[in-house]
Amino acid sequence: MSKDKDRAIVVRRSAPAKKGHHGGAWKLAYADFMTAMMAFFLLMWLLSSASTAQLKGIADYFNQPLKVSLWGGVRSAEESSVVRGGGRDITSDNWGVTRSSDGTTKRADRSESRADDQALNTLQGELERREQARLHDLQVKLMAAIEANPVLRQFKQQIRIDSTLTGLRIEIVDSQKRPMFATARDTVEPYMRDILREIGHTLNDVPNRIVVQGHTDAVPYAGGEKGYSNWELSADRANASRRELIAGGMDEAKVLRVIGLASTQNLNKADPLDPENRRISIIVLNKKSEEAMMRDDTTTTTLSDDAAGSARPLLQKIPPPVAAGP
């Protein structure tokens, strides 16, 4: 028993097995991700604080930096550097004009410019509201004139007045029982003459200019499209309507365009032969549509054939051929 008591008790404890080391690659990936996100949010903040002119200048630089640097052109900044800039000065609204300061802009100047833009937008909005009110008054006045005239009142179902994006549209629609013009001709019927002259007298109440459009149905002429067709007929009827508007007292300078559209814009698209498709449209243009039409008439486009986009004409005069010797 003594020997058992003196015997040493040995307890063996095995250490837990160590798992393999996974490495720190995930830390690098996480750091790269956080850096990219930080750069992305910084880019978003810079873009949100840049003006429209600055954004366009940056876009122009990245669109064609090498081309402008090599060949120059109107988009090259006028500076003394060896490598010329690829876009206009983003702090200026003018092409080829560089800033003469050190690049800083006074906060007061920026605030003043922003206030001027807001004032201009407010003024434009007020002008548009006034113009819309004038056109609405014109619509009410035309409808009242039709109701007050016993001759016109019986034809009010053929007169449609509505507002569109381009302005106030007045349409006089044909019908089988009461055609506006003689068959296949531009001769104005008597009742149509009364309607046009009453409208022409009322249009002088607004300064807006007008467009007169002629429409026909799709019934073709016997000779087809090669001879006198619906294109000529719609244009002739629109011009005849213009003459009646002026005869009613409308200022002839109010007419901006007279257009013949044949059967390209049918009211009843399901039936191109429907008599309702024969109509005259008088569009009282709003200021924005009028300016757009005037700008389209006066804008010219210059084609170019070189990589720098210079203003040399693409089509040049070809010299006469040199006669060969005997």
- pLDDT digits over 164-177, tens only? 888 889 999 987 77
Query: How does pLDDT run across 150-165, given as a tens digit for each residue?
Result: 877 888 888 888 888 8
pLDDT at 271: 93
Query: How does pLDDT run across 178-203, given as a tens digit for each residue?
Result: 889 988 899 999 989 999 998 898 88
Percentage of the chain exceeding pLDDT 90: 26
- Among 20-24, 112-116, 165-169, 315-319, the range of highest mean pLDDT: 165-169
Lowest mean pLDDT among 199-208, 258-267, 308-317: 308-317
Summarize the confidence of residues 226-252 as an average pLDDT.
93
- pLDDT interval class at 83 (50, 70, 90): very low
pLDDT at 280: 95
Query: How does pLDDT run across 109-164, given as a tens digit for each residue?
Result: 666 667 667 777 777 777 778 878 888 888 888 888 888 888 778 888 888 888 88
Of 165, 243, 257, 172, nearest to 211 by C-alpha is 257
Who wins on pLDDT, 306 or 250? 250
Whether residue 82 is predicted with pLDDT greater than 50 in this model: the reply is no
- pLDDT interval class at 72 (50, 70, 90): low
Average pLDDT, the chain: 76
Q: Where are the domains of the chain?
A: 40-97, 124-298
Whether residue 209 is predicted with pLDDT greater than 70 in this model: the reply is yes
- pLDDT interval class at 2 (50, 70, 90): low
Token readout for 204 is: 């002088």
pTM of the model: 0.54
Vertex 139, ends 135 and 140: CA angle to 5°?
120
pLDDT at 315: 44
CA distance 194 to 153: 11
Who wins on pLDDT, 253 or 76? 253
Lowest mean pLDDT among 247-261, 263-277, 286-300: 286-300
Burial 87-106 (b: 16+ CB within 10 A, else e): bbbbbeeeeeeeeeeeeeee
Who wins on pLDDT, 214 or 305? 214
Protein fold of 124-298: 60s Ribosomal Protein L30; Chain: A; (3.30.1330)
Who wins on pLDDT, 31 or 10? 31
Lowest mean pLDDT among 37-46, 55-64, 209-218: 55-64
pLDDT at 235: 95
Whether residue 313 is predicted with pLDDT greater than 60 in this model: the reply is no
Whether residue 316 is predicted with pLDDT greater than 50 in this model: the reply is no
Tokens 């790269």 belong to 32
